[in-house]
Structure formats: C-alpha cells, structure tokens
Structure 1
Amino acid sequence: MRQEERKTIQAAIIGAALFLLIQIFRTPLSHIENQDVLLAFYLIIGCCNIAFGFAIFAQGWLFFSDKLSRARLYTSALFLGVCIFDFLHTLSFVGIPAISSIISADQSLWLLTFSRLASAFGILFIFSKEDKPVSVTSKKKVFGVSLVLIALSLSVLIFGHSIAQGFPDYSWVNTVKHLVDMAVLFVYLLSVGIIVYPGRVEKSASLLIIIRALIFFALSQVFFMNLLSVGEMDYLFGMLSSGISYYLMLTGVYRLTIDEPYHENQQAEARINYLAYHDDLTGLPNRRRLMQRVEEMIQQSEKDKSHGFSALVIMNINHFKNINDSLGHYAGDLLLQLVSERFQNEVQVNEELFSMGADEFAFLMTERTGVESCLVRASELLRLFETPVQLESGEYHISLSLGMSIHPGDGDTAEQLIQNADTAVHNAKEQNVEIRRYIPAMQMKAKERLKLENDLRRALERDEFYLVYQPQVRLETEEIVGMEALLRWNHPKRGMVSPVEFIPIAEESGLIVPIGEWVLRTACRQNKEWQAAGYRPICVSINLSMRQFLQPNLAGKIDAILQEIGLDPCYVDLEITESMTLDKETAFDQLNRLKRLGVFISIDDFGTGYSSLHYLKNMPIDRLKIDRSFVSEVMEDSNNAAIVSTITSMAHHLKLKVTAEGVENKDQLNFLRQQHCHEAQGYLFSKPVIAAEFETEFLKPLMGVSL
C-alpha cells in the first residue's frame, strides 16, 4: 500500500477516534467557564480558516495563471464564497460590534451552514469530473457568476431569516437547519465515495489528499451537528477540523492542478527526449545519438592528439528481410532484440553500441592503438554469431556483414564517418565478404548503384527488358519438355547489364514486383503465341521473388493474367526458393491457392537454403531443381555426388520430379542418368536464347500441322 493511501486511512481513523474522545470527555469540557478564552480560540481558528480559504482562492485565481484548469478555476471561485461566509460568520459569532449588529447569532450559524453547504456541493461537482484546461476568458465569467451567487445567498440568508422570525412558530427553522446540516454531511461522504470508486483504479497522491480533506470536512460537520448550545467545545473542535480540511484542500488542489501536471510534463519531455535518442525496440541509442557521440569523439581527438585511433563499425544482418518476411515481423523484432543483447553483453571499456534502425547496428570503438586492432575487434564481433539464435520456431544461424571507417583518415565529420562505414557494409554484402574497411572507390560504386536503381525504375517504361529461354530436356528421350524464362536488361548506354547486378537492386527497392509481373505476363503470352502458331505445347518455368510470393493476392493476379492471355495453367511452372518456406503456415496457404489454379510448383536451387523434409512431405510441390553448384563438380567432388544422389533418391520416394541445373558436359549427363534424374538444363543443351532462336531450334509442330 502506498504511503498516501496509508495516510488517508489513518486520517479517517484519527478523525473517528477524535470525535469519540471528545464525546467521552464532553461533560468536563462543557464546564469551562471562561467563555472569553473560548471565543479568543474560536477567533484565532476562524482567522486561520479564512486565511487558508483565501489561499485556495489566490492559488487558483492570482498565481500560476498560465496553468489554469477547470478544477483550479472552480475551486478558487468556490472558496472565495466560502471565505466570505466564514469571515462574516467568525466576526459575528465572536461579537465584533460592526458585524454582530447586522448579523445575529442565529444568522451567524446559518452563515456557517451556507458555507458548508456550498463547499460540499461544490467539491462534489468539481472533483467528480475529469479536470481539463480552460481559457483565460472563462476566468472573468466564473468570477462574475461567483459574486452574483454570493450576493444572492447573503440576501436570502439575512432577509429570509428576518421574515422567518415573524412567524409565530419559529421552531421549524431549526428543524430545517438540522435537515440541511444532515444533507451537508451526506454530500461530503458521497463526495468521498464518488472520488474513490470510479474504475477502482489507483488514485493519485493529490486526490488522496483531497479525500482526506473531505474526511475532515465531514468530521467538522459532525461536530457542528452535535451542538447543544452556542459556544460549546464541539463547535470549537468543528472549526479546528475545518482548518485541517482547508489546509489539506489547499495542498491537494495545488498538487492536483499544478504540481502533478508539472511533473507529468517533465516525465513526458524526458520520455520524448529518450525516444528521440533511443531505439524503441532494442532500447539502444539511435542514429541521432550516434551522430552526437561521433562529433564528441572527433572534437576530443582534435584536442588530445594522443587519443589514438577510433573506428566506427556498421553491422548488417544478412538476409534479415527473408527472415522478417517468412517468419513474420514479431520473429524479426525478437531476432533484433536477441542480436542486440549479444552485442551489449560484449561491450567493453571505450566501446559503445547503437541501433541504426531496421537490421543495422553501429559499434563505436575509441582509443585504439591502430587499424589492425580495430579489425581484430571487428572479427571478434562476428564470432559472437557462430552459435545459432533461438527463436520461437527453432534455432537459426545468422551471419553479419561489417563495414568500418577509421578516424583519423576516413572522414573529418560524424556524417562522413557514418556514411563511409555504411558504404563499406553495403560493399561487403555485394562482395559476399564479412568485413570491409572503407576506401574512396566504394563511394563511386555506391553512386553507380544509385544511378543504376534510378535507371531500373524507368527500364519497364522504356521497354528495355526482354526474355531469353533455356530448354529443359527429358534425359530418358532427350526431347524438349519445357523451358525456363530468364530476364535480361539491355541498357541504352551501359549495354547488357548482368542479372547478378540488377536483380538484387530490384529486390531491395521493391521494383522486383512490377518487373516480376511483367516477366510472368510476357512469358505466358509468348508460350500462348507458340501454341497458337501450331507448335507442340510445352511448360514455361518462371521464377517468383520473395516479395512476389508474399503478396496476398498473388493467386488472383496470376489467374487474371492466364485468363486474359488464354493460357492453360498446366503449361506454367512457378519456381520458388527454399527460403520462401521458412514460414510454413504462410507458404502452405499461398502454395495451395496457386495449386488450385492448376499450375506446377518447383523448388529452385534446392539444397542451398533452408532444407526441410517437413515441407517436402506436406507442401503441394511438383519438382525439385538441383542447384548448379552441386552439378558442376559432381565428377570431382564425392560430397557433391552424394548430395545429388540423395536428392534424386529422396524425390523419387516422394514422387517428385527432379531437374538438374547447370549441366555442361557428357560426364555430368551420364551421372545424372545413372541417378534416374528426370530432366536437365544447361549449356550442354543450349545457353539461354531469345524467343525467335528458341522457336527455330527447339520447338516442334504438332502432328498434322504445317508451319
């Protein structure tokens, strides 16, 4: 239980105990003869109450006007009236001549009742609703309404009491007063219940203080209702309880409307500042903070020439996008957190870790003895991931690419060092190496890559792409049974651009989706044209990228294209890679939708990725394509021969077709025949050729059809 909650409970217990003790010692206290002493005490306590009431008014009305809220405004207006009523009551009650000549002793008690009635209903109204900011213009309106209500209340009290005295039976007035006092007590207790109950959520410290104030308001009302005659000790203790409640109300309103909002704003600003300089997922300092830190490092290095070398290493998780797309964003986020933890556990003195966003991290090393020391430390970071990472779906081996820039030497500003390290890591990924230190030539290559991406965006519009076709041969009869459509780019200035160069750029930029759709449409249209020309129908194999495969409407798009062209789906073979099946549930669902169209499904480059007998057994696939890296050395490397033999045997048992890629000589062909491989493609049969050449060399007319 919090301290403020304990204080609130203690306040209720102390109030109840105080009332009981007063009642126990009521008789001795009532025989105090010196009424002047009692009146003097009463005047002192009354003045304190008036001071506290005015302080509540001034706090909301005169001070901190830039932090005006509904609760502060209404509370200050309320206690302006309460303060005036208490002022008139106290002076008339103790017999100040100027006031007592106008307001009698009975009217004085009614003033007190009006004061308590106003505070009870006012507090109930104010603190039972959510506090909101108000405009400064509301202040004048509330002030005017408050003065009018106070004047009306005083008029009703003074003149109404005089009129009531004219009635023969005056005792009913006391009955009415007693009922009003009961109502005031009920409203105080109701206010406590309404503030405490809503939502049964934990209350702020300020609201708990206001609840304590209400408890003492209720206690003072109990004392006032216990009066036997004017001037008894109950009355004095009632005023004392009122003073305590006023003080608590002053404290509570200040904390609720000024202190707590101020601290909340401070916390919000601190949170905003934290988020501005930290990554929300990993909690690491972010790129903005890295920029600041590198600038500080450069300044320190310029002041202290013995500072040594500093290195900025940017680390990128290889193939993170495949993991993120296949296993889902939750798994991707979890992987980033696990990678972050491994790095953080390795951070030593004069080293700092940062998140660059997405799948990139930065590692800043200062006060190194030389470049070699920086490279050795970078290699140690790579070795952290020799053991697999445990995700919910299993263990995964990941690798990183590192790019490094050194100060002094590779940049004079933080921006240059970060940019150069980033260029180096992209170069490492392109070259398929683990670590690269920045050299100026990389910058030129990065610019070339950017220009190539811009040209790639316009290549479709300018009709710069075309397809070539490589025949697929049935080994048993050596007849052409299919063809693979392969994309080529004839750049107007560069000439032929290798797919190895532009396909990764297309995948990273997302251009692979419209390009892949163009390939699918063009290959299917060409196949349909050959069939319409009277050639024997064969199947065309078309590669799908990861981005294409993950499209929710992929099956619908392919169906629309086939319907538009009029090509039977049985003459289309869609090739996917093993990495697309990492998320088994998504892959299974997508493949089933594709199979319902009637197309064939092949696993391309089988054996080089995430191989699993589970998806081979359960997923709707028709063929395995053995990667060329195994076939090319099948006669020289016994391990490759064993792999090809195993894949072929496994496919036969699973009733899947097997196609070998990259067949270049007769020895490889004979080996594949011995393994009962169904089909093959490669330079031994033909390199990929344009449509016209493929038609001339490999297509055969249907029987009885003359061309």
Structure 2
Amino acid sequence: MKICSKKLILVFVICLDFSLSLLFVTFVSAPRQVKVGYFLMNQFQELDQSGLYHGYSFDYLQKIRQYAEWDITFVQCEYQECLRLLADGEIDLINYVEKNQKTENNFLFSLRASGTEYAAISVLEENFRKYPANLKIPSGFRLGVLSGSKFTDAIEDNLTEFEQTPELLEYPQEKLYSALESGEIDGILSSSITVFPGTKVISRFSLRPFYFVVRNGNDRLLKELNRAMNLISLHEPLFVNRLYEKYYAYADSEVLYLTKEETDFLSDKKTFRVIIAPDGDPVSYYLNGSYHGIIADFLNKTARDLNVEIEPVEAASFEEALDKIRNGEADILGDFLIDEGFAEKNNLQLSPAFLESQVVAVYKKGNDVSVKNPVKIAEPNNYQPLSSSLRAIYSKSEVTYYESDAACLDAVNTGGQDISFINIWAAQKNLGKMKYHDLVIDPNQGFTLQYSYAVSRNADPRLVQILRKAINSISSFQRFSIINQNVFITPQKVRLIDFINTQPAYAFFIFLVFPILFLYLLAYRIDSHQKDKKQIFNLAFVDDMTQLKNLHWMEKNAGRIIEENRSKKFAFISFDLDRFDIINEYYGRKTGDQIIQYMADTLMSIDVPGMICTRVKADHFLCLVPYESREILEKKISDIKSKKNSYSGNDTVIKFGIHVGVYILSDSDQDITACIDNAETARREARNVSSGIVFFDDYLKDKLRVYKHIEEMQESALENHEFEVYYQPKYNMEENSIIGAEALIRWNDPVHGIRMPSDFILIFEKNGFIIQIDFFVLEEVCKFLRSRIDAGEKVVPISVNQSRVHLSEKHYVQRLGEIIRKYSIPDGLIELELTETAISEIDDVENILNQAKALNYRISIDDFGTGYSSLTMLNRVPLDAIKIDRNFLIESNNSKKTREIIRLVVEMAHALGIQVVCEGVEKQDQADFLMSIGCRFGQGFLFSKPIPINDFMRIL
C-alpha cells in the first residue's frame, strides 16, 4: 500500500512538473498583449462599417507588430480620454502625441517620431486662386478650426502669414467641412495629416513631430517599441515615405506661385551656380562635368520648375565650398546639413529642409563602440555642421573628417578609425561591396539629419524665398521617386577583385567547384533586379486598386504617344460619378471601392483600339482616346453613360450618373497638362447640364473667361457702387394699387452695361459672394424705407431674396438683427424671400426662421410648387406668404388640372392665414382667372417690370 502511494505521489509530481513546464513555455513564447488606444481621425485612424481599421497610424502599428511580436487590441476613445486611460494603466500605448512639458512629465516617448505634421490652412478648390500660395492671407479671413484643436496657438506664433489676426470659429468634426462648403468660413485650420476632400492648401507653418507614448514606468514596452521602429527604419527605410504617399499624396504640396518681384529676379538671373559634395554616392557625386545623385535630382527638378539653369561649381573640400559661397563664386550650397548655429557662424541663410535621412553607425563586427568609451570617429567633410552634436554624444572621442562616405568606410575597414556615421542610403549602397563584408550597420546609435539649401546672407533675399516655395511644391510622391531612382533602381557594382583579395580560399572554391551555381545566382540577381524595377514602376505609375496607370504616367507619356501616332486624332476624356461621396457614406467605403473597380473594368473593356485609361483619384478617371470622327466619339460616350450607369452587388442595385468632360486635341496642342486641365474643366461643367457630357469649346472657354472676369471684378464692383437695387411692384389686382415690392439686383458694369442676375448670381452662390450681395440689397432696402418713413411718405413691405448659403452661415440671424435695429424698421416691412429648395436643404431651418420672425421679419417662399415638399413646407416653416411659380400660371392656359391645383393652393393658403402672390402675370386673362379663384395679389409685366428706385418712388 505504501509502495502504491509513493508511486502515485511520484506520478503526480511528474505531471505537475510537466504542466508547470508547459505553462512556462507557453507563457514565455506567447506574444505580448498590448492595448492600443485610438481616436477617429480622417486618413490617420479610421474604422469602416465592416470593422476593419485603416489609416496611417494603424498601418504603422501593424508594421511594428511584425517586429515586436505583439498581440494588439485596439480600444476606441476620445483623445483626452486616451491620455487619461494611458496614465491610469488601462491601455498601454497611443499615437499622435506632441512633446510638451505636461506630456513629457506624464508619459514615455518613442525615440523616433512616428510622423510629422504642420498647421495647414485649406480653402475650397474653386476658391484656391483667390489666395496665391505663400502670400499673406488677407484681412477679414474667417478661419474654421476643430473644437479644442492644438493648432490654435500656431496662429499667434505665425501672424506674419496674415495681414491681420484672422477670426477663429470653432466647430465639431461633423460641422467643419460643411461650414466651409456653405461659405460660413473662408478656410480651415487643421493638421496637414487631416485631409478634406475638394480643398487645397494655401499656407503651411509650425512644423511639429508627433510620437508613440507609453505610460511612465513601462520601460520594457518602450524598449520593444524603440527596437521595432529602429528595425523598420533599417530594413524598410522607405516605409514611412510610403505611408505618407498612400494617405497624404494629394495634400502635401502646394502650387508654385511667385510674386512679380521673384519672377523678375529669376528672369535676370537665369543661371545658378551650385556646389554639392563631390563624392557621396548616392546622395551626391560629380561625374563627367556634372552632379548626380538624390540632391542633384532635387536641384534639377527645382531648376525645371523655376525655368532656370544649374551650373556646377567644383570644390575640393567643404571648407572651399563655404569660401566660394561666402565670396560670391557660387550661389547655392546644395547639401547643407541644417545647423542654425553653424550657418550663422558662416554668414549663411538656409532654406527649409527638402530631404531627411537617417544617419547610422558603421563599425567592424565585434568592436566595442559604446558612447562611454573613447573612440575614433570618421565623418564625411560636409557633416561638419553636426560636429557639435557628435561631440556632445561622444564626449571622449576624436572626430576626423574625410572627403567622402567611402573614405570614411575605408578608414573604419582598415582599422584607422573605430566608427563612422553616414546616411543610411550611402551605408546600404557601399556595404553591398565585398571589401566591406566585415562592417555592420547599427541604427540604434544613429540620428536624423536634414538637408537644406544654403546661400550667403549677402545674397538677394528673394533667392531663399523662391527656394522655399520650390521645396514646398515638391510632393512626397516626387520625393519618394527621386530617392527610389538613386538608391534602389541603380544597380550595385560588385568588383570581383575585392572578393578575391578578401576571400581567396572561398574564391578558389567557388570558381573551381560551383560555376553553375555562380551563373544561377547571377541570373537570379538579374531577375530580382527586374522584379524590383517592375515594383518601383508600379509604385510610381500604377494605381494600386484598379491596376490602371495613374495621372503621373499619363502626363509623362501622353505627349510621346500622340507624337508616335501623328496620323490619328486624339481626345482627352475625363469621367467621374455623380455624388460619389454620398454613395461612399450611405453604402460604405467597401462598396465604393467595388464601384470604382467596376468603372475601371468598364473602361478597360471599351472596344476602342489604342485607348488608354488612367485613374486620377477616388471616382475620377482620365482617358486618352484615338477617334475617327466626333460623331463616333459622342456615340461611344453616350453608350457608356446609358449602359454602365448602375452597379449590382450584395443584392443591391446602385444607380449613379456619370459626368464626362471632353477636350479634342488640335495639331497645335503641345502642353499636355493644359489639355488635361481643359478636359477637367469640361467635366466640372458637365455637372450643370442634363446630358452630363460637355465638350471643351470656344463657348466654354469664353464662359470661363467671363466667370473669371466676374470673380475678379466682384469686390471692386461692390466697392465702386456698381450694384443697384431695382424694385418690381406687387399689386392688389382688384384695386389696381401697390401693396408691396420685390427688391432685385442689377450690375451696372461701366464696360458691359447692365448685367442681369442670370449673368452672375449662380457664380456668386458658388464662390460665396452671394452673402455680401444679399446683405447689401437688404441694407439698401432698409435705407430706402428709413428715408421714406423719416419724410412721412408712403411705405409698403418689400421682399428681399435670400440664398440657401445664408441659412448655413453661423451669424446669419445675428446680422439680420443688427441691420433691422440699425435702421429701426417697423414690424413686417421686410420680407425674407427664400426658395423652397433652399429651405428643404437646411436641417435647422425651422429654428433659424423662427428667430428671424422674432426679429419681426416676414417670411415667404418663392417659386412655390416647384419642389417635392411644398405641402410639408406649409406645416414646417412659419410662413407669412407664398409666391405661386409663373410656370403654373403659364400651364393653366391649357390645363384644367393646373387651374384646379392653383385654386386649391390658394384656398389652402388662405385657410392657414398665409398671403398668396402669383408672379409672372403678363396677360389680363391671367389676372382675371386669379381674381376669380380668390387670389388678389399679383406681380408681373402686366403691371410693371423691375424699375430703378426713382421710378418706383414716382409710382408709389
């Protein structure tokens, strides 16, 4: 019995030991559980309807997870709540935190920034040319900002961007963009990583990095985070660039606008003498009398953009380069590493950074190069601006400068120096050579450097300003392409002699035993290189979603295609979908993406030999189409619109319209970008025509010219009192007496004469100027009534038209109150006349109009009966009057049903205590009919056309 008990105890101990061991192994091998807090932010952190995470931050975290072996759980919270949860230990990590005294006291920050942002001011795309980029923003600019935004303090720090301090208006996330669309504000202040559709940036300032943070005391998690970010930078140095390109490619550059003084300077200068470090492949190097490499390509692009020439100036050393800049032998030092103190000492002024690179440590395997020990450091000569930073870190070490990156690596490789710090591109390119096989890269001891252009402080001040604008006009995609072309596309040169000298035994073995393997590896390398080239090509020129070429490819290749097919006629055709944003919002982004793919497949399937289609962005496509005749081209487009205007998926059929803009190229067309712009202009115009198809022609060209002229002249016309108020009387038809009037606007143009509202009102509604015009009319009417009242003369109620733009303006009711109090207008003498459509589009219309009624304004609906919700309006809105649309009256001549509808409307309105006025009365029989059904009030040419104020006073 005792033996049995001992055996049972032994078995129990063994099982327990095994279980504990298994539990330990499982615990040790299990990935770390990390709770990440996130807040919703467009393009940065988004959660779609299917529960999938998208955005810059989520992509970055997924990449970190690959290197850190984390099991991530996401926790949604508002920004301030996320900070609180992190401080309390309920979550482990959040992104997008800016360093300041408070956050640095409460949290631990990642060594590397997770991204950079700046304050950006954006306006609607159609208003973009009113605010030339890089010029001061005018007085009276109304600037919308998210409630609690951290960028509000950037305004006070950057008042030089404005003619005077702008008016800041705060909005919640869901209201900010609609306020911009309605004209309630002129622009939006936001982070550069917040993308608003249909907008362009006119100003940027206050560059700031942001970071991942963990709570104080969680050093282990911070160490894992820093290690993962370092490894990403080492193994995937373009990862962050790709993230910016993926999510912010359309928001990170601004159009290059130059002032007249700057243009004159370039016209006089024409050629710039430039110095770059001569031996720093792939960043910069001198070959066959010219500079090459990343920085040279940036300079060449800047020169093309500015239409100037670059003249290389040689310098044997960095000191000689500085001397030549200082004494005027060269204009620009092209690869200056930003250090303001060093620049000040050498009498230099710097442009903004145009290139950022990671610097990594390179040393021999097994060497102890700790910052605690004295080491000998080899540095490229042009890194001298960073010498103070290096000496601060390696206080016990000696720095020796060499003329090139390769010379530094040679010094470390031969043992003359212990360590070198060079940019990661040069390290990766050089360490592929066999002779450096004993050297290793250590990103943990590196840092980040920024390149700028440096010019003498004695140089013309316009030069740095021009360089700043040119740098800001380069998008992240273009930066990425330049770096890619020099670092990853250029093949590495492997010298056989290096391998033989360093590894003779291996060399003999390989050449003797493995010639076939050598040939295989060589073939594999060529194939891999071709795949890399294809991948780079796809990144640069192919749309990832649809696999169509992109706009950049079209701009680059269309001219060549047209030139090679000179016997053919070509047209650019631009497509987009009607209200695609609504489809995205209602059906979800996944369905929206499926519709985009469907449209791409549709365009690819069109039977037109030689047709090339590209995706510009979102639902926007551009095609280069060879055609035989305009008639055939029009038929093909009509077929697409009629047969491909719906999408079936998930048991749902989604109907949509297609807008089409067409530009037919002529033999004289040389500027491809201008041709594409014309097609885009026609597409935008197509939104306003029933067919949805517009060809760019002389009429559209003239219309755009007139549109532009009107926009250019509108402000001065208002200042010069060219706008005049006309009055069209309203009559009591039974008594033939004036019972009111409608105020109408006319533009007395000194050049073109009287312009009717149809020439300019729609333009003013689009650009927001309608608000100023309608308030001008309201104030002129108040002045007229006040003068009549003061003179003891007869007054009648006057109606003033109000646009739907007004109802979306935040201070609309406040301004109504200020005007009516300013002139002390008695109750009921001003009638606000709104269209039925305007009222139906505003959610808060009842509250707005009730407030207007409280100020003793009358409310009326114009064109009653033209919409789908006329009866709803009668119950929803506090109406005093309705105006029956003239089209009803015209139809009543031949339609008994229409006459009956008008009679019922009149009866219903009277029963509700609402006055009825019928507009467009032009014939006596129409007046007789209206009086026969009880409608006593009419307005129209039978009584009077709109007349100037003096004529109206005579008949009043």
Which bin holds the TM-score, normalised by the shorter protein? 0.5 to 0.7
Distance 1:290 1:260, change over 3 A: closer
* Structure 1 match to 2:111: 132
Aligned with residue 258 of structure 1, among 226, 230, 238: 230
Q: Is the 8 A contact 2:729 2:944 kept in 1?
A: yes
Q: TM-score, normalised by structure 1?
A: 0.55
Cα distance in 2 for residues equivalent to 1:132 and 1:279: 27
The 8 Å contact of residues 279 and 355 in structure 1, kept in 2 or not, is answered as no
- Kindly state the Cα deviation for residue 411 of structure 1 after the two structures are TM-superposed: 4.0
Q: Deviations over 1:169-194 (max 9, x none)?
A: xxxxxxxxxxxxxxxxxxxxxxxxxx
Say whether the 8 Å CA contact 1:632–1:664 is kept in structure 2.
no
Give aligned pairs, total: 455
Question: Quick one: distance in 2 between partners of 1:585 and 1:361?
Answer: 30
Match of 1:269 in 2: 241
Deviation at 1:520, TM superposition (A): 0.4
Q: Which residue of 2 aligns with 1:457?
A: 715
Residue 776 (structure 2) aligned to one of 494, 518, 528: 518
In structure 1, the residue matched to 2:25 is 13
The yes-or-no answer on 1:374 pairing with 2:625 is no
Is contact 1:468-1:485 (8 Å) kept? yes
Q: Give a deviation string over 1:565-602, Cα, whole Å, max 9, x none.
A: 11114111001112222345321221121111111111
Please identify which structure carries the higher strand content.
2
Alpha-carbon offset, residue 561 of structure 1: 0.8
Tell me if the contact between 1:459 and 1:465 (Cα under 8 Å) persists in the aligned partners: yes
Distance 1:199 1:619, change over 3 A: farther
For residues 595-638 of structure 1, what are the alpha-carbon distances to aligned partners after superposition, in whole Å with 9 as ceiling and x for unaligned?
Answer: 11111111111222342433321221222211222223421345
How far 1:385 sits from its partner (Å)? 9.8
Q: Give the share of equivalent positions with the same residue, in percent.
A: 25
Partner of 1:505: 763
The amino acid that maps onto 1:267 is F
- Does residue 1:681 correspond to 2:947, yes or no? no
Say if 2:886 is the partner of 1:628.
Answer: yes
Q: Which position in structure 1 is the counterpart of 2:866?
A: 608
User: 1:487 offset after TM fit, Å?
Assistant: 0.6
Match of 1:563 among 792, 814, 821: 821
Counterpart Cα distance in 2 of 1:293 and 1:612: 49
Alpha-carbon distance between aligned partners in 2 of 1:596 and 1:463, rounded to the nearest angstrom: 32
How many Å apart are 1:295 and its aligned residue?
3.9
For residues 657 and 884 of structure 2, the distance between their equivalents in structure 1, rounded to whole angstroms, comes to: 24
Deviation at 1:340, TM superposition (A): 7.9
Q: Deviations over 1:148-174 (max 9, x none)?
A: xxxxxxxxxxxxxxxxxxxxxxxxxxx
Task: Assess if the C-alpha contact under 8 Å between 1:472 and 1:680 holds in 2.
Answer: yes
2:876 equivalent among 601, 618, 631: 618
CA gap of 1:484–1:386, structure 2 versus 1, over 3 A, is farther
Q: 1:32-63: CA deviations, max 9, x gaps?
A: xxxxxxxxxxxxxxxxxxxxxxxxxxxxxxxx
Bigger mean CA deviation after superposition, 305-314 or 514-523: 305-314
| Matched ranges for 1:242-257 at <5 A | 256=228
Q: Which whole-Å CA distance do the structure 2 matches of 1:533 and 1:494 have between them?
A: 36
Distance 2:708 2:575 in 1: 20
Q: Could you tell me how far 1:384 is from its partner in structure 2?
A: 7.4
CA contact (8 A) 1:485 1:523 kept: yes
Where does the alignment leave 5 or more consecutive residues of structure 1 unmatched? 1-8, 18-127, 135-196, 209-252, 390-394, 700-707
Q: Using CA pairs under 8 Å that are at least 6 residues apart, name the structure with larger relative contact order, 1 or 2.
A: 1
| Cα contact 1:351–1:365 (8 A) shared by 2 | yes
Q: How does 1:687-706 map to 2 (within 5 A)?
A: 687-697=945-955, 699=956
The aligned residue for residue 594 of structure 1 is 852
Q: List aligned pairs for 1:456-475, cutoff 5 A.
A: 456-475=714-733
Deviation at 1:639, TM superposition (A): 5.7
Whether 1:494 aligns to 2:752 is yes
2:756 alignment partner AA: S
Distance 2:936 2:645 in 1: 38
- Which residue in the other structure is 2:572 paired with? 311
Q: Note the 1:344-363 alignment, pairs <5 A.
A: 344-347=597-600, 348=602, 349=604, 352=613, 354=615, 361-363=620-622
After superposition, residues 183-198 of structure 1 pair within 5 angstroms as none
Which residue type is aligned with residue 345 of structure 1?
A: Y
**2: CA distance, partners of 1:453 / 1:491:** 13
Give the match for residue 369 of structure 2. Answer: none
1:365 Cα shift? 5.3
Please name the residue that 1:364 is paired with. 623
Per residue, is there more helix in 1 or in 2? 1
- 1:665-685 CA distance string (max 9 Å, x none): 011112222332242100011
Query: Is the Cα contact below 8 Å between 2:575 and 2:658 reproduced in 1?
Result: no
> Counterparts in 2 of 1:92-111, with a 5 A limit?
none
- Cα gap change, 1:448/1:335 in structure 2, threshold over 3 Å: closer, same or farther? farther
1:354, 1:361 within 8 Å by CA — same for their partners in 2?
Answer: yes
Asked if the contact 1:315/1:403 (under 8 Å) is kept, the reply is: no
**Which residue in the other structure is 1:437 paired with?**
695
Q: Do 1:309 and 1:371's aligned partners in 2 also have CA atoms closer than 8 Å?
A: no
Mapping 1:377-396, distance limit 5 Å: 377-380=636-639, 382-383=641-642
Out of 776, 779, 793, the position equivalent to 1:535 is: 793
Q: Distance in 2 between matches of 1:339 and 1:384?
A: 19
Letter of the aligned partner of 1:269 in structure 2? Answer: N
Change (3 A) 1:284 1:523: farther
Q: Partners in 2 of 1:15 and 1:564 — Cα distance? A: 77
State how far apart, in whole Å, the 1-side matches of 2:824 and 2:545 are.
Answer: 55
Q: C-alpha distance in 1, partners of 2:776/2:570?
A: 51
Deviation of 1:306 after TM superposition, in Å, equals: 8.0
Cα deviation for residue 361 of structure 1 reads 3.8
Instruction: Tell whether the 8 Å contact from 1:316 to 1:425 is kept in structure 2 after alignment.
Output: no
Residue 290 of structure 1 corresponds to which residue in structure 2? 551
Are 1:570 and 1:598, in contact at CA under 8 Å, matched by a contact in 2? yes
Contact 2:110–2:222 (CA under 8 A) maintained in structure 1: no
Matching of residue 648 in structure 1 with residue 906 in structure 2: yes
Question: Which amino acid in 2 is paired with 1:132?
Answer: L
- For 2:551, give the aligned amino acid: L
Per-residue CA distance 1:653-699 (angstroms, 9 max, x = gap): 443222111100011112222332242100011011111211111x2
- Structure 2 residue matching 1:518: 3-state secondary structure: helix
5+ long unaligned stretches in structure 2 = 1-20, 30-106, 114-213, 253-542, 605-610
Q: Deviation digits for residues 294-349 of structure 1, max 9, x if unmatched? A: 442342343356887443125585xx7xxx9xxxx989966997888656533321
In 1, are the aligned partners of 2:571 and 2:662 still within 8 Å (CA)?
Answer: no
CA distance in 1, matches of 2:693, 2:27: 75
CA distance in 2, matches of 1:579, 1:15: 65
Q: CA RMSD in A?
A: 4.5
The 1:660/1:610 distance shift into structure 2, 3 A limit, reads same
Letter in 2 for 1:297: A
Is the contact made by 2:918 and 2:938 (CA closer than 8 Å) also made in structure 1? yes
Provide Cα deviations, 1:73-116, integer angstroms capped at 9, x if missing partner: xxxxxxxxxxxxxxxxxxxxxxxxxxxxxxxxxxxxxxxxxxxx
Aligned equivalent of 1:665: 923
Q: Which residue of 2 aligns with 1:480?
A: 738
Q: 1:331 to 1:362 in 2, by over 3 A?
A: closer
Contact 2:645/2:658, CA 8 A, preserved across alignment:
no
Partner AA of 1:479 in structure 2: S
CA 1:429–1:266: 2 relative to 1, 3 Å: closer
What SS is found at the alignment partner of 1:574?
Answer: strand
- Over residues 511-554 of structure 1, what are the superposed CA-to-partner deviations in whole Å (9 max), with x where a residue is unaligned? 11111111000011102222222233310100001222221211
**CA offsets 1:217-272 (integer angstroms, 9 cap, x no match):** xxxxxxxxxxxxxxxxxxxxxxxxxxxxxxxxxxxx8x536323346753321122
User: Residue type matched to 1:313 in 2?
Assistant: S
